[in-house]
Amino acid sequence: MTSASLPGRYSEVYAAAGRDPEAFWLEAARALDWSRPPTRAFDPGSGPYGRWFPDGELNACHNAVDRHADGARREQVAIRYDSPVTGTKRAITYGQLQDEVATLAAVLADLGVTKGDRVVIYMPMVPEALYAMLACARLGAVHSVVFGGFAANELAVRLDDARPKLVLAASCGIEPARTVAYKPLLDAAIGLASHKPDACLILQRPQCAATLVDGRDRDWAEAVSAAAAAGQRAACVPVAATDPLYVLYTSGTTGKPKGVVRDVGGQLVALAWTMPNLYGVAPGETYFCASDIGWVVGHCYIVYAPLLHGCTTVLYEGKPVGTPDAGAFWRVVAETGTVCLFTAPTALRAIKKEDPRGERVADHDLSRFRSLFLAGERADPDSVAWAERVLDRPVIDHWWQTETGWPIAGNPLGLGLLPVKHGSTCVPMPGYRVEILDEGGKPVPAGTMGTIAIRLPLPPGCLPTLWGSDERMRASYLATFPGYYDTSDAGVIDADGYITVLGRTDDIINVAGHRLSTGGMEAVLASHPDVAECAVIGVRDTLKGEVPCGFVVLKANVAREAAEIERELVAKVRDEIGPVAAFKLALTVPRLPKTRSGKILRATMKRIADHEPWTMPATIDDATALDEIGASLEQRGIGGA
């Protein structure tokens, strides 16, 4: 089979985007309402590599809210809020959403927010957080969402870089076992930052009331109530398609976070295209993205994409397990009538660990549920196969980045499901011309590992630049391979055009001159019947340069001796990858250190193992996990905390 002979409409659609991108994306843009429709799709002379829809004008909030609320979907539910941590459920129609957003936007305008101003949003998974994002978009302001509960110093760095006029925050976030007070963190961040916002609008949650600072802080409920009583409503402000919709910060190699810019027109066009074509979802259906608005997935597929498409979006304030059990997602899917669920592989592995036989699935009516999509980190084939078996639905791993703003590669369900290859993220989406390059920037043959790069220009929806620095954009992404965007991911493309992402390029280890993927070793470890999840890092070695070390978390109720399982894992890697891997060390640990979004902190684990200085990452979910990694390494005479 070749890419040209793949079933369904994919090959035809992908080829059309490559043959005439101008016509393809102008046609895709017709899915939106424009106050001034674009006559050109792309201007190659603007920005570091060009800009999309340079003469178009529109408003994101109008497209996500008003055109539905003013039309046939006014009484349709736009947001289903489900919060097991507070025992709260709410259904918010498009009409109610329009009222809430227009009123909040009037409050923001009264506080001085105008087109182009930045607004930092520091909130948990509550409907008001979505109102805040959409209210900013309504005014043409640029929102920058910072994950709720982020450390004060990290928030301060973002305040200094974005220089917001206003901060919108909640008094607290709710975790299954604790309440996290946000306001003291916000106060500390403002104290640390050189830039001081003009005002803060604080949503008081009943679980933890915040102390307001006189002259700076406003009570959210009081301000909105007063505006509503006075009949204040802000209108949608048209903006250029090339204006920023939001800035979202991602980690930078220098320690200074990079502000990824998302332009309005390109982002909306790309997201609107994905809902029917990639996810196979129709207007009026329910879409559940189990992420957080602090991450790119939450921006795109909790907020903008489902609402643009006239869907009902699920806003879930809970965990995949523990709120109350491993059936939490299936309960929400059943109760909301979800047709498509999008979550992270780490959530799937947590569910599998607690419910290895999938017994909780049978507790719920999933008759309307059609597909499960995974992204965020590599989905191990064993977990994908497990989900296929217990759900009896397509389970689709797809791949993208904060920078790209929508999937680079996936299995386009709406164009006709392609044959599944476990371990692969399937084929590139239209507009992404993906190649595998060697260290010198030359394309390599099919099946050969190298750096995954995307030929310029990037399609609509991807970052046009970094906030305040075209030059940093060029240096970070465009300089390594001229004419390409460097994904910093390693992988292969097979003869059918299927992409397999093996990990970040810094996860490729050099063992005695052999370049090996830690992701390939992780796939072997994950296939062991007793392993719930795993991570492999390269540890410095005086003889071989680096040697791999595997960390595994066992499934619940595994009664066998850990040492026996560790010996089996070493033998399994030797059998399936070969002695060249030099894999001799597997360590069982209680948990893996992760960010709040579920990414495993492999780089920090490696620094511990290599006796290098390290600091506690601001995004870490559970700091004790790193201590446990250090203790496990020390017991074997490696590294240390």
- 125-137 pLDDT, tens digit per residue, is 999 999 999 999 9
pLDDT of residue 4: 59
pLDDT of residue 478: 97
pLDDT of residue 639: 58
| pLDDT of 640 higher than 60 | no
pLDDT of residue 596: 73
Q: How far apart are CA 538 and CA 546, in angstroms?
A: 6
419 three-class SS: coil
Q: Which residue has the higher pLDDT, 637 or 2?
A: 637
Least Cα distance to 35 among 58, 14, 9 occurs for: 58
Q: Which residue has the higher pLDDT, 219 or 634?
A: 219
| pLDDT of 606 higher than 90 | no
Per-residue pLDDT tens over the stretch 264-289: 999 999 999 999 999 999 999 999 99
Average pLDDT over residues 14-40: 98
Question: What band does 255 get if pLDDT is binned at 50, 70 and 90?
Answer: low
Average pLDDT over residues 56-67: 98
Per-residue pLDDT tens over the stretch 370-388: 999 999 877 889 999 999 9
| pLDDT of 641 higher than 50 | no
- Which residue(s) pair with 342 in the sheet? 289, 373
Question: What band does 610 get if pLDDT is binned at 50, 70 and 90?
Answer: confident
pTM of the model: 0.86
pLDDT of residue 235: 98
| pLDDT of 620 higher than 80 | no
Residue type, 131: Y
pLDDT of residue 62: 98
Average pLDDT over residues 342-356: 92
**Which residue blocks in 193-263 are alpha helix, DSSP H?**
220-229
pLDDT of residue 513: 58
Average pLDDT over residues 147-169: 92
Average pLDDT over residues 167-187: 94
The alpha carbon dihedral of 139, 142, 147, 148 has a sign of: negative
Least Cα distance to 136 among 157, 119, 124 occurs for: 119
For all residues of the chain together, what is the average pLDDT?
93
Per-residue pLDDT tens over the stretch 35-50: 999 999 999 999 999 9
| Contact between 409 and 427 (Cβ < 8 Å) | yes
- Give percent of the chain above pLDDT 70: 97
| pLDDT of 1 higher than 50 | no
List the domains of the chain with CATH numbers.
Answer: 3-318+398-492 (3.40.50.12780), 512-635 (3.30.300.30)
| Contact between 232 and 106 (Cβ < 8 Å) | yes
Question: What band does 317 get if pLDDT is binned at 50, 70 and 90?
Answer: very high
- Give percent of the chain above pLDDT 90: 77
Question: What band does 319 get if pLDDT is binned at 50, 70 and 90?
Answer: very high
DSSP, residue by residue, 574-592: HHHT-GGG----EEE-S--
Q: How far apart are CA 445 and CA 439, in angstroms?
A: 14
Ranges 72-86, 398-412, 498-512, 577-591: which has the least confidence = 498-512
Average pLDDT over residues 234-239: 98
Per-residue pLDDT tens over the stretch 544-571: 778 899 999 999 889 899 999 999 999 9
Between the CA of residue 387 and those of 240, 358, 393, 557, what are the distances in Å? Answer: 43, 8, 8, 20
pLDDT of residue 355: 95
Q: How far apart are CA 516 and CA 577, in angstroms?
A: 10
| pLDDT of 526 higher than 80 | yes
Question: What band does 514 get if pLDDT is binned at 50, 70 and 90?
Answer: low
- Any idea what DSSP says for residue 620? B
| pLDDT of 584 higher than 70 | yes
Per-residue pLDDT tens over the stretch 287-308: 999 999 999 999 999 999 999 9
H or E element, residue 170: strand 166-170
pLDDT of residue 352: 94
Give the alpha-carbon dihedral of 222, 224, 226, 228, to 10 degrees. -150
